[in-house]
Chains A and B, each alone.
Chain A
Amino acid sequence: MIELISQPWPWYISGPAISIVMFLLLYLGQGFGVSANLRTLCAIGGGGKFSNFFNFDWKAQYWNLIFVVGAISGGFIASYFLTSNHPVQLSTAVLTELEHYGVVNAGTQFLPDELFSFEALLTVRGGIMMVLGGFLVGFGARYAGGCTSGHAISGLSNLQLPSLIAVIGFFIGGLMMTYFILPYLLQLQI
């Protein structure tokens, strides 16, 4: 059984599993949305003094923080006890393309070392990708009123037009980055 779970999961197991988590959260009286925790953390840190946006009853969001602590634990369990020898099953076209940019670990690590590590943090490329990237993840997710879990999964499941607009935005931004900006950013070896 452990052997079986340890293999990389195909999409037709992973997708339905995510939607079951969403359903169970609804059944427990809550909604699925991970980025809301970033707002909660701001509120706990005293953000309410600076903006009304952080004046809300964050204790009602306590469950979500616990959910996230669970996600961290889940990541730990999966990567230390449910490991397989299979690298990430990327298409060969993508592997070759990334090698061209000097990213050789794309298939063996979830986050290639060349791009995401404490050493990389000191480079211009790493700084842009991690510090500016993280900043805009937080900014963009709140501006859009949700992230992948809140809009693409929960919102679309509830047939919400705003979520469809947000997901279209995700793809406009994602394609612009992948085709017009990343080719230059990845070549930045400083």
Chain B
Amino acid sequence: MNKIRFYLLGIVFGIIMTKSEVISWSRIYEMFKFQSFHMYGIIGSAVMLGIAWIQLIKRTKIKSRIGTPIQLTPKQKSVPRYLIGGTIFGLVWAMTGTFPGPMFTLVGNGTLVMLVVILSAIIGTFVYGLLREKLPH
């Protein structure tokens, strides 16, 4: 099974999330208070290098491991959806200090109360699915 690769990558991701302190509530608080460069440095350098990767992929047209062209699905065009959804997400990003990646990593760290947060997030996703047609997109 090729799935083991995803498991290993996940482990690496969890270690990065922990050792970079991205999973720290206070780090997020500090970021929104503009008191430290740490989070900006992480996101900024990840995006800078990410832009380079994607340009490399586009220009060399390298194939993925399974031989298919690498998928870079463009996001659908819209403004309200991203602005409203993004603002809601930002409000709680600052409040809970966590976002989906760290939520799971924190469970591994032994913060089991995060399971409650994850359960709530699943319910939130479900309610979005129910209301989807009625929301501006």
Contacts and interface: CB of A to CB of B under 8 A. Distances in A.
Interface of B is mostly: helix
A91 B39 CA distance: 13
B130 A51 contact: yes
Interface in B55-104: 57, 64-66, 68, 70-79, 81-101, 103-104
Nearest to B91: A173
Given A72-B104, A134-B116, A149-B101, A54 B47 contact: no
B96 to A, nearest CB: 4
B106 A70 contact: no
Given A22-B53, A173-B94, A177-B32, A160 B75 contact: yes
Interface of A is mostly: helix
Contacts of A166: 82-83, 85-86, 89
B13 A131 contact: no
B3 A71 contact: no
A14 B20 contact: yes
Interface residues of A, number: 130
Interface string A158-184: 111111011111111111111101100
Interface of A: 5-31, 34-35, 37-39, 41-42, 45, 47, 50-51, 53-54, 62-64, 66-79, 82, 88-91, 93-94, 97-98, 106-107, 110-112, 115-118, 120-121, 128-149, 151-163, 165-179, 181-182, 185
6 contacts: A14-B19, A15-B41, A110-B106, A135-B123, A165-B86, A173-B94
